[in-house]
Structure 1
Amino acid sequence: VAKDRSNATALSIPRDLIVNVPDCPTTQDDGSTKVIPGSAGVRFNSSLGQDGRTPSCTLRTVTELTGVTADNFMVADFNAVKTLSSAVGGVDVCLAKDIDDPDSHLKLSAGEHTIQGEEALAFVRTRHSVGFGGDLSRIEIQQQFLSSLMRKLKSNDTLTSPTKMVKLAEAATNALTVDSRLDSIGKLKDLGLELGKLDTRNLTFATVPVDDNPAEKVKATVVLREASAQRVFAMIRDDVSFTEVQRKKKKEAAAVAARLKGPKSAPGDIRVRVQNGGAPSGSAQQELLYLQNEAGVTKSENAGNAPAGLARTTLEYAPEQADQARALAAVLGLSGAAMKPGESVVNSQGLPAMTLTLGKDFKGAGIPLDAAAARAPEDVQKSTADKVQCAK
């Protein structure tokens, strides 16, 4: 949830994603602390429940994976789905086809339904009868359920009425496991009222971009789609909305902003030398690999370390290279302020090239440097809570 409450992102992490679970200190029944050793290259769902791991272990794993530090946690078990869906008088869902799933015990005809209790639980657990029949399909149907739940809470003013929120919070205290900062009806009520400030158009449900694990012949787990995933994580860390409605816009001077306007060269025509001016060691080579292998900027090369450090990344170019500069700025998410009209340099082929100097603000290969210009990658599965979707 953004600090100014203008937007929020609910990010789903597939249970079968391969992650590193860090060491986790846990409090035992006698008050002592036991450190549960971490595990490398295991499924994400092993961070909770296995080997005595508590929700705090899952939070540590999320931080290790995303770089995002969670302020609070809630754990909703099967009973929570039944209790909360009933407490709001049912949740409206839509099916594009008939579903008869013997595994989850969900049996519903195509069309719109209001579900609660056991039926709501069956809905969020079904996977064999929707999409591709896997965990990613189940994530989509769960996101549709939560979107509808949010619309229900907004439509009947529950999230803006202290009285209604107290009643919902009373039900939640019996259905949710929460951390110590949310362990009372009053605290849950206050959180709900804060969420009530959100416009559902600016509540985005997204899923971490993943690919099938290339190490497996029989596909059972998934791995990060690195460039896209890191962009998603950076947007959440920087409080950048995934929606166009509340996208933050930096105000630049007209002359600076104008540097981004005009024709752009094709990626294959961009000539640039990349040098490190304050980013972590190896960043120039990482950015080079991204440019060549994913962005199509094949006429790029590593220029080593810059002669002086920079706080911010810059792209220096000659006037006749403006088309190339605008194209590269679009690829890297550079602001107009990062573009420095100047002189070209000669690359290893003896041809004029631009100079990209990675500063201390460099966040990783493929991650836009201007947070306000960031957009969710096209390959990220996402939806907003104001849209009614039917499970397919």
Structure 2
Amino acid sequence: MDAGRGRSENIDPADQWVLNPNTGEYELRLSPSAPQSPGPRQAPVPGPRRRPDATTAPPAAPDRDVPPPRRRRSTPEEPPPGRRGRKGGKPAGRSRTKKALLWTGGTMAFVLVATAAGGYLYLKHLEGNVDTIDVGDAGASSFRKNEAFNILIIGTDRRTGEGNSGYGDKNSVGHADTTILLHVSKDRSNATAMSIPRDLIVDIPECSTKLEDGTEKVIPGLQQVRFNRSLGESDRDPGCTMQTVKEFSGIKPDHFMMVDFNAVKTLTSAVDGVTVCLNRPIKDTKSKLDLPKGESKIEGEQALAFVRTRKAYQNSSDLDRIKVQQQFLGSLMRKMSSSDTLTNPKKLIKLAEAATDALTVDKAIGKASTLKDVALELKKVPTKNITFTTVPVKDNPAEVVKATVVVAEAAPQVFDMIKNDVSFTEVKKQKKKEKAAVAARLKGTKADASEVRVRILNGGAESGSAQNQLVYLQNQEGVTKSENAGNAEAAQTKTTLEYAPDQADQARRLAAIMGLSGSAMKPGESVTNAQGLPTMTLILGKDFKGPGIKLDSSSAKTPDVEKSTADKVECAG
């Protein structure tokens, strides 16, 4: 049978995707009786969507090797927020739900269809589903496969998308209602998904956006306002939201992704539902959620109600809802990664279509090949090492009636850990790097901090690091016999501690304070300090993360914040 043309057999196109045992990849079967081969003839697939001209007839429906593009939704009642220049008329952002699901939902499907026969053409079809926005200098100009990266995942309260007229705020221009900063480590051993509360008080910096007529508009900044105003209001686009995140956290998002309400409904239906758990029965008249205590399987509208419910939980706050959404995402990730999903071509195609049709991204990752690269990199992260957390916050002390929050004391450490690529989970790969002989340097007695004598040099860290570390060691750790020795002769990548054999107990104490690994400890000859006394030498390398932040992520004490991982079932409510 010619896979590029319909036949009377009425075979479901998804059933034509088969696993080739010789290559380990999925490919289209061109004939029921034809042998599988590494390079079968490519079948025509739908191309990117195009807006039909008023004077021309719409293109004929594509052949049925893969699902055809869906009909374009009706034009929204008002222009969507943010930069224009997107393909088609899909609104910029429209979801109140946790948006990390789009990279879990589309990743596996992207990977498998991309490696199959005709996979590139199908990716071009999926590219046609995706809308793009130019955020200029707010994001990276390209996707870097060999570096850590940050994706800002945004959802808004705008009422757009088929079947969503009853959700969100009726007159909203589309604020940043639900936002996650997703950090993926350089070695792909772990990832952190940090939720940003919509009611967090921040400063929104001045930003520019490109209007529908192509002109640039500079939007003045705002001081001490809710984070959700960083999108939509005064034509602020996702680039403005990205700049706001950098302003209050110091973390620069490289790219952004936005999806609509339909993503929760279509993705959960594509995998035949996900399992969630409640500590008590929930019956919410506002979201229409009605679930018993214990485990339940949800999909479609019921899944959307689950992630939107707020009043039924504890304090009826957005922070309560964030916890529930994180637990939902963990369940969805497990279902996406299950063998039942990965070996079912029909589900994979549904996932790819659902994820991309709901997706708006920055232009730097809007191409089919780049989206595939992003998916492949995300696929490398083990589920058990994906940590969900939230910006540490506390009630706004300026308010009598508590309605907003501000960053708490633990927030800077959380931001620094993400910015410096430090995992919130214990990664086995990192533990195995220490060989027994090197690790032995850490074993043995430790001197009191007051007995540790060390001179500190800056060998590639940020300017002022030696003095800042000196102040920290003296005032916070009791290492009073320490001095700033200026700059090292040459910059170095790693922080090191050089010491004489009779200073080993002092070295072990300082290593424990700073989280130095055995490989960072360098036995050698003793040197003298400014008073002519024997001292160790601490050289702060480019990996130095700041005073009080441990260098060895596997042994670092993480801040006391609520967090969960994607591999564990947890009950909400």
TM class by shorter chain equals 0.7 to 0.9
TM-fit CA distance, 1:94:
0.1
Moved more, 32-41 or 135-144: 32-41
Say whether residues 1:228 and 2:409 are aligned partners.
no
Does residue 1:96 correspond to 2:96, yes or no?
no
Query: Which whole-Å deviations, capped at 9, do the CAs of 1:259-291 have from their partners, x for residues lacking one?
Result: 222233465765655554553343344334544
Greater Cα shift, 382-391 or 171-180: 171-180
Give the structure 2 partner of residue 58 of structure 1: 241
| CA deviations over 1:208-247 (Å, ceiling 9, x no partner) | 334455566655312152452144214xx53x54433544
Q: Which residue does 2:267 correspond to in 1?
A: 84
Please tell me whether the aligned partners of residues 26 and 34 of structure 1 are also in contact (alpha carbons under 8 angstroms): yes
Q: Distance in 1 between matches of 2:435 and 2:257?
A: 44
The question of 1:203 aligning with 2:383 is answered no
Cα deviation, 1:24-71, whole Å, max 9, x if unaligned, reads 332210122223233444433232223321122222333445555544
Within a 5 Å distance, the mapping from 1:1-392 to structure 2 comes to 1-2=184-185, 5-66=188-249, 68-155=251-338, 157-159=340-342, 163-180=346-363, 183=366, 195-213=378-396, 219=402, 220-224=404-408, 225-234=410-419, 237-238=420-421, 241-249=423-431, 251=433, 256-265=438-447, 270=452, 272=454, 274=456, 276-291=458-473, 296-300=476-480, 303-306=483-486, 308-312=488-492, 313-341=495-523, 342-343=525-526, 354-370=536-552, 373=554, 375=556, 377-392=558-573
| RMSD (Å), alpha carbons | 3.8
Higher percent of residues as helix:
1
Is the radius of gyration larger for structure 1 or structure 2? 2
Query: How big is the shift at 1:149?
Result: 0.7
Contiguous gaps of at least 5 residues in structure 1: none
2:513 partner amino acid: V
Tell whether the 8 Å contact from 1:162 to 1:189 is kept in structure 2 after alignment: no
Matched position secondary structure for 1:73: strand
Q: Report if the CA contact (8 A) 2:497-2:539 is conserved.
A: yes
Alignment check: 8 A CA contact 1:292 1:298 kept = yes
User: 1:270 and 1:195 mapped to 2: Cα distance?
Assistant: 44
TM-score (norm 2): 0.57
1:85-127 superposed Cα distances (whole Å, 9 cap, x missing partner):
3333322110011223455443322111122233322322233
Alpha-carbon distance in 2 for matches of 1:104, 1:360: 50
Alignment partners' CA distance in 1, 2:551 and 2:557:
14
Is the alpha carbon distance of 1:283 and 1:358 closer, same or farther for their aligned partners in structure 2, counting shifts above 3 Å?
A: same
**1:204 partner SS:** strand
Read off the aligned partner of 2:207 and give its amino acid letter.
C
- For residue 134 of structure 1, what is the amino acid of its counterpart? S
The answer to whether the 8 A contact 1:7-1:199 is kept is: yes
- Give 1:197 shift: 4.9
* 3-state SS of paired residue (1:136): helix
2: distance between equivalents of 1:344 and 1:226?
39
Task: Kindly state the Cα deviation for residue 148 of structure 1 after the two structures are TM-superposed.
Answer: 0.6
**1:88/1:110 Cα in 2 relative to 1: closer, same or farther (>3 Å)?**
same
- Give TM-score scaled by structure 1 length: 0.80
Cα contact 2:453–2:482 (8 A) shared by 1: no
For the 8 Å contact 1:310–1:360, the answer to whether it is kept is: no
Range 305-314 or range 182-191, more displaced: 182-191
- Report the CA distance between 1:338 and its aligned residue: 3.2
Q: How far is the alpha carbon of 1:167 from its aligned partner?
A: 1.9
Distance 1:303 1:142, change over 3 A: same
Structure 2 stretches lacking a partner, 5+ long:
1-183
The one of the two structures with greater contact order (alpha-carbon pairs below 8 A, sep at least 6) is: 1
The answer on whether the counterparts of 1:94 and 1:111 sit within 8 Å (CA) in structure 2 is yes
The 3-state SS of whatever aligns with 2:255 is: coil
